[in-house]
Copies of this chain bind each other. A is one copy, B any other.
Amino acid sequence: MARVPFETMQAVIAEAFLKAGLSRQDADICARVHTQASFDGIYSHGLNRVARFVDYVKRGWVDINAKPSLVKKIGAIEIYDGNRGIGILNAFAATDRAISIAAEQGVGIVALRNTTHWMRGGSYGWYAAEKGYVAISWTNTESCMPSWGSKEPSLGNNPFVMAVPRQKGHIVLDMAMSQYAYGKLQVTRLKGQQLPFPGGFDKNGNLTSEPGPIEESMRILPMGYWKGSGFAILLDTLAAVLSEGLATNEIDKIQQGSCTGCSQIFIMIDPRKLGGETYTNQVADSVVNYVNNSTPDENSKEVLYPGQMEVRVREEHLANGIVADDGVWAEVLALAGRRE
């Protein structure tokens, strides 16, 4: 396992993206987002996702020259076509535009269609919170999970993000609709371990904590069983309806990797136009304190709020370098044209 300083990782990823044909500016922005994901401990969408993005660019699944274009404007809602451009840049453009609308009108909604993988959804929640905005955002995806009561995938895991700005540390939720990601199943299987709780069904319909049989059956479990299944259905429908874009059943026909052609929603609200910054901090602090001060259970030393773990991981990574898998780091170094 390597330990890589933030600046080094960002510079190397940017070189890899430059070699893939991105402009200097685009490469730098995307490299920062991937690096920040690893820095926050979300390795799956950080360094580990660089090679796949480069592959999508080479295959022409991501158009590195496309920019989002305005389709329609209705009050505080705007619809954009992502034109299959770079998912990170499209998502930032959508977030920035929704923030601009919210700065004027209190709330701003951008519905983005025909975009590509936004990588870590939490990126846009943290970004909005850093600017003082409340964010509610989600994406649909290709299907990877059965609806509740089915044994065949028909739902995306449709990551959902909520963020509230808070001076002492933003409260940020970033969750997919499956109980575990396929990446988590793979990592757990390679370690020869079991999942902490059942993660899906084997091919015979038995609920299991063994990752291998779930990877084989593709019967990954929605979080909360029927609840996560229902939530995924609504997120998908709403993303497609509001953006006049594709739902999961249509994304499945594209067959160009993960999330190509997907639909995303960015709702931004300016709390400074409501109760104000001091008030927002008071409320957010009271929620955080209630959670942090509740008695830990038998397996825990402390009780954390969403976003608190990321702050811890950042501090550790800042001191010791970002954790990076040796093989993955070597692969990205190679993509950057460096041999170390």
Contact: B152 with A295, CB < 8 Å?
yes
A contacts, CB < 8 Å to B: 72, 74-77, 79, 104-107, 109, 111, 134, 136, 143, 146-155, 162-164, 171, 173, 175, 179, 197, 201, 204-205, 207, 219, 223-225, 227-228, 230-231, 233-238, 240-242, 244, 247-250, 267, 269, 271, 273-275, 279-280, 283-284, 286-287, 289-291, 294-300, 302-306
Instruction: Say how far A163's CB is from chain B's closest CB, in angstroms.
Output: 8
Contact: A290 with B241, CB < 8 Å?
no
Contact: A164 with B290, CB < 8 Å?
no
**Partner among B146, B148, B287 whose Cβ is within 8 Å of the Cβ of A249:** B287
Contact: B223 with A228, CB < 8 Å?
yes
User: Within 8 Å CB of A235, what residues of B?
Assistant: 162
**Partner among B204, B237, B274 whose Cβ is within 8 Å of the Cβ of A298:** B204
Contact: B175 with A241, CB < 8 Å?
no
Task: Give Cα A274 to B104, complex, Å.
Answer: 21
Q: Which 5 A-B pairs have the closest CB atoms?
A: A223-B224, A75-B105, A205-B298, A149-B300, A74-B106
**Partner among B151, B173, B234, B284 whose Cβ is within 8 Å of the Cβ of A241:** B284
Instruction: Say how far A197's CB is from chain B's closest CB, in angstroms.
Output: 6
User: Within 8 Å CB of A143, what residues of B?
Assistant: 290
Contact: A287 with B162, CB < 8 Å?
no
| Among A134, A303, A305, residue most surrounded by chain B Cβ atoms (within 10 Å) | A303
Q: List 15 A-B contacts (CB under 8 A).
A: A75-B104, A76-B105, A77-B273, A107-B107, A134-B238, A134-B241, A150-B296, A150-B300, A150-B303, A151-B298, A152-B295, A155-B291, A162-B234, A164-B234, A267-B267
Contact: A240 with B287, CB < 8 Å?
yes
User: Within 8 Å CB of A223, what residues of B?
Assistant: 223-225, 227-228
With A248-B287, A275-B244, A306-B234: A150-B294 Cβ-Cβ less than 8 Å = yes
User: Within 8 Å CB of A179, what residues of B?
Assistant: 224-225, 227
Task: Give Cα A249 to B109, complex, Å.
Answer: 30
User: Within 8 Å CB of A155, what residues of B?
Assistant: 291
Contact: A306 with B147, CB < 8 Å?
no
**Partner among B233, B297, B306 whose Cβ is within 8 Å of the Cβ of A305:** B233
Contact: A230 with B306, CB < 8 Å?
yes
Task: Give Cα A291 to B226, complex, Å.
Answer: 13
Instruction: Say how far A225's CB is from chain B's closest CB, in angstroms.
Output: 6
| Among A171, A240, A287, residue most surrounded by chain B Cβ atoms (within 10 Å) | A287
Contact: B271 with A242, CB < 8 Å?
yes
Contact: A154 with B291, CB < 8 Å?
yes
Contact: B205 with A173, CB < 8 Å?
no
With A274-B77, A284-B237: A248-B290 Cβ-Cβ less than 8 Å = yes
Task: Give Cα A303 to B233, complex, Å.
Answer: 12
Task: Give Cα A201 to B269, complex, Å.
Answer: 37
User: Within 8 Å CB of A204, what residues of B?
Assistant: 298
Instruction: Given contact pairs A164-B234, A227-B228, A250-B286, enumerate 4 new A-B contacts (beta carbons under 8 Å).
Output: A77-B273, A175-B224, A224-B228, A233-B291
User: Within 8 Å CB of A104, what residues of B?
Assistant: 75
